[in-house]
Amino acid sequence: MMSYRIVGDSCTDLPKSLRENSHIKLVPLTLIVDDVSIIDDETFNQQSFINRVKASPHSPKSACPSPEDYMKHFDFEGDIFLVTLSSQLSGSYNSAELAKKLYLEEHPDKKIEVFDSRSASVAQTLIAMKIIELADANSTFEEIVSKVNAFRDGLKTKFVLESLDTLRKNGRLSGLQAFIASALNIKPVMGATPEGTICKLDQARGIVKALLQMVKIIEQDVVKPQERIIGISHCNNYERALFVKDEILKRIPFKDCFIVDTAGVSTMYANDGGIITVY
């Protein structure tokens, strides 16, 4: 069996089974709220972070890992696959690419590939799962790279957020009309573009209607669901994630489904109550 390691940034939201997988190492980003730095690792306290962000007039920021943070995981007898959040949302991908370049100067025979998820959260998880599936089937490094890139290109991301504060404060919503609609309780249904930026797909009055609208959009655009796994991540609202899962599986025959709670970076983007789906 091939020897390999998957290095993900901490926006890779892992279910418990994968957190215990020895092939996967996560490199934390740092979250900054006012003057406080919070490391996005197993010490991350979601509720305390949410409270801190709510209390602050400023947008929370993230600092991506340094190339050295990634390179710590490269001294390993085997192939290295890195999975990062969208290069359009963070410098994490560029940092990982630089780490690869610097390491290959010293170790030219090492096989390292960096995958830009062009999304975030459970998209990164699904990419990691695909790498494991292919590696365990004894695919070569080159086969894995080619198949995972094709898999990534076919992934679709949809999400509904309770609050757009963070995305609005940090400018990630530029190009979308500002939502003056909060007073009307209008909730947008959002998605990721093929390039990895954020786009608005639809909107509805109230969170439940917006979630059902998201399910409808998934039903309309999913291809061969019986061959796909859908990942659902939620920020501090497991009941809402279960509701979405039930509504999806009632209508669409996905091969499998998993639910995870967001770690730090995804919590920063999704805000309290946010739901992200990737398939």
Query: What is the spatial distance between Cα 148 and Cα 143, in angstroms, rounded to a whole number?
Result: 8
Instruction: Identify whether residues 140 and 118 lie together within a single domain.
Output: yes
Note whether residue 46 is domain-resident.
no
Residues in the chain: 279
How many other β-carbons are positioned within 10 Å of the β-carbon of residue 260? 22
Is residue 171 very low, low, confident or very high in pLDDT (cuts 50, 70, 90)? low
- Domain count along the chain: 2
Determine contact, residues 39/28, Cβ cutoff 8 Å.
yes
Instruction: Identify whether residues 175 and 108 lie together within a single domain.
Output: no
Q: What is the mean pLDDT of residues 28-45?
A: 97
How many other β-carbons are positioned within 10 Å of the β-carbon of residue 205? 12
What CATH number does residue 140 fall under? 3.40.50.10440
Is residue 175 very low, low, confident or very high in pLDDT (cuts 50, 70, 90)? very low
116 has pLDDT over 60:
yes
Instruction: Identify whether residues 192 and 93 lie together within a single domain.
Output: no
Instruction: Identify whether residues 22 and 141 lie together within a single domain.
Output: yes
Amino acid at site 277:
T
Instruction: Identify whether residues 23 and 91 lie together within a single domain.
Output: yes
Indicate the residue among 104, 123, 154 that finishes a domain: 154
Query: What is the spatial distance between Cα 40 and Cα 53, in angstroms, rounded to a whole number?
Result: 15
The residue segments making up the domain with residue 253 are 157-278
Query: What is the spatial distance between Cα 84 and Cα 102, in angstroms, rounded to a whole number?
Result: 18
Instruction: Identify whether residues 235 and 218 lie together within a single domain.
Output: yes
What CATH number does residue 211 fall under? 3.30.1180.10
Stated as kind and residue range, the H or E segment containing 37 is strand 36-39
Instruction: Identify whether residues 124 and 12 lie together within a single domain.
Output: yes
Query: What is the spatial distance between Cα 277 and Cα 279, in angstroms, rounded to a whole number?
Result: 7
Query: What is the spatial distance between Cα 21 and Cα 169, in angstroms, rounded to a whole number?
Result: 36
Stated as kind and residue range, the H or E segment containing 259 is strand 256-261
Determine contact, residues 37/20, Cβ cutoff 8 Å.
no
Indicate the residue among 154, 183, 198 that finishes a domain: 154
Query: What is the spatial distance between Cα 276 and Cα 279, in angstroms, rounded to a whole number?
Result: 10
Note whether residue 47 is domain-resident.
no
Instruction: Identify whether residues 184 and 70 lie together within a single domain.
Output: no
Query: What is the spatial distance between Cα 72 and Cα 278, in angstroms, rounded to a whole number?
Result: 30
Instruction: Identify whether residues 150 and 166 lie together within a single domain.
Output: no
Indicate the residue among 154, 185, 204 that finishes a domain: 154
Q: What is the pLDDT of residue 219?
A: 98
Instruction: Identify whether residues 143 and 271 lie together within a single domain.
Output: no
85 has pLDDT over 60:
yes
Instruction: Identify whether residues 138 and 203 lie together within a single domain.
Output: no
